[in-house]
Amino acid sequence: MKTLERNITIQLVKQGNILSPKGFKAAGLHAGLRYSKKDLGMILSDTPASCAAVYTQSVVQAAPLNVTKESIHTEGKIQGVIVNSACANACTGEQGLKDAYEMRNCAAAKFGLPDHYIAVASTGVIGEFMKMDKIKQGIELLEPTADGADDFEHAILTTDTVTKHYACQTEVDGKLITMGGAAKGSGMIHPNMATMLGFITTDANIASADLQKALSEITDETFNQITVDGDTSTNDMVLVLANGQAGNSQLTETHPDWPQFVALLKQTSENLAKEIAKDGEGATKLVEVNVTGTQTKQEAQVLAKTIVGSNLVKTAVYGSDANWGRIIASMGRSGVTFNPGDTTIAFGEITVLQNGVPAPFSEAEAKSYLEEPTIIINVHLKEGTAAGTAWGCDLTYDYVKINASYRS
């Protein structure tokens, strides 16, 4: 039980996932896009769900994003999400758009839904065409069930080494609201907006426009604050489906429990984001950077993300080397103005720079701390009272290995 400001209480659902909320089913299977792993997944709500989404801010956007946008904009409702891995269907021109529509419409036909009740997402190699025969055959075989979350989670993975899921609950109007999520990384992770694929389900009753407000509000401090390699995908998308089956009175910004709902969405998103960072390609450690004492929240977020995204900081963390000079050097190029002479840096509780002056510390102690699976870097400035956090991972031999041969 975690208590947040305003007495918001959120309860973790142990081993929870996208099927923890009421009224959702899921499936995942091997359609033949990948050699042997699952590659086609589906989430299905029993009833049409309010839907909100955020997408990559890349100039280059994959075809499925256009199709999903169109679906959502038609009525603000989505009942099914069809997802494939192995092929991104990006930079595939008119054929790619045609394929994305066909994928949507096949899924709609299979489950007897209007075309615009289906959202489409793809992830994988850019610039290759979809194997539509396999996609269509696969869709025919999809049978979402109440225990299909694990299959779905596997079907959306690319270079990820583990599935990513989370669920939590809170009370609204005295009704229990549950939220669950699934996500995949793990390269091209450096969201300008979303990053990767994220799917969040909830049984809360909320209109699409309000759901979109909540999602937009928390994206900048959750999904947008992780980075694995500085590259933003053409396919990034986070979808939230709310099917209203919890029976609460409809949530709006003026509802007394609105902060409760936003906190639920933030906690789900932050946990999925951290899981993605932790499973970054080749990563051995999760790195969290907290920056405090800036004039604005945005400055703190930019500083935190610049530090956590620095190749030199990432390799130092991999080597368990308390090389704090690389931290302040990356801050210097972040575009944020600050006084280096007022800067304090600590690895966890071990202060290495105090008000701009190198602080004596035990190298052995620092090295020992940096060998842990989660590294926290704390930076404090004296410019103001704002704060921000970002998450990332170390840069390892395996990152190079994975990416020197991903397509082949």
233 part of the interface to a copy of itself, by CB under 8 A: yes
Longest CA–CA separation in the chain, Å:
68
Residue 195 to residue 155: CA distance in whole angstroms:
18
**For residue 3, what is the enclosing H or E element?**
strand 2-4
DSSP string, 108-164: HHHTT--GGGEEEEEBSBTT----HHHHHHHHHH---BTT-HHHHHHHT-SS-SS-E
Work out how close the CB of 405 gets to a copy of itself at its nearest, in angstroms, rounded to a whole number: 5
360 part of the interface to a copy of itself, by CB under 8 A: no
Residues 246 and 204 sit within 8 Å (Cβ to Cβ)? yes
| Helix (H/G/I), strand (E/B), else coil: 93 | helix
Closest CA relative to residue 56, chosen from 156, 197, 181:
197
For residue 106, the tally of other CB atoms under 10 A from its CB is 20
Q: Is 403 annotated as a binding residue?
A: yes
What string marks each residue from 271 to 310 as x (binds a copy of itself by CB under 8 A) or -? ---------------------------------------x
Q: Is 281 annotated as a binding residue?
A: yes
**Nearer Cβ to a copy of itself (233/243):** 233
Q: Is 195 annotated as a binding residue?
A: yes
Work out how close the CB of 106 gets to a copy of itself at its nearest, in angstroms, rounded to a whole number: 24
Residue 307 to residue 346: CA distance in whole angstroms:
13
358 part of the interface to a copy of itself, by CB under 8 A: yes
Beta bridge partners of 55: 237
Which residues in the 144-203 window bind a copy of itself by CB under 8 A?
A: 187-188, 190, 192
**What number of chain residues touch a copy of itself (CB under 8 A)?**
68
357 part of the interface to a copy of itself, by CB under 8 A: yes
The gap between the terminal CA atoms of the chain, to the nearest Å, is 46
Among 311, 362, 368, 385, binds a copy of itself (CB under 8 A): 311
Q: Which stretch binds a copy of itself (CB under 8 A): 22-30, 88-96, 142-150, 255-263?
A: 88-96
Distance of alpha carbon 46 from the chain centroid: 25
Work out how close the CB of 223 gets to a copy of itself at its nearest, in angstroms, rounded to a whole number: 15
Q: Strands 118-122 and 344-347, how do they pair? A: unpaired
Catalytic-residue membership of 195: yes
Q: Which of 92, 123, 195, 396 is catalytic?
A: 195
**Nearer Cβ to a copy of itself (178/301):** 301
For residue 98, the tally of other CB atoms under 10 A from its CB is 14
132 part of the interface to a copy of itself, by CB under 8 A: no
Residues that are catalytic: 195
Annotated binding site for substrate: 158, 184, 195, 281, 403, 408
Binding site for a copy of itself (CB under 8 A): 56-61, 88, 90-93, 125-129, 187-188, 190, 192, 229-234, 310-312, 315-316, 318-319, 321, 323-326, 328-334, 336-338, 340-341, 352-353, 356-358, 395-397, 399-408
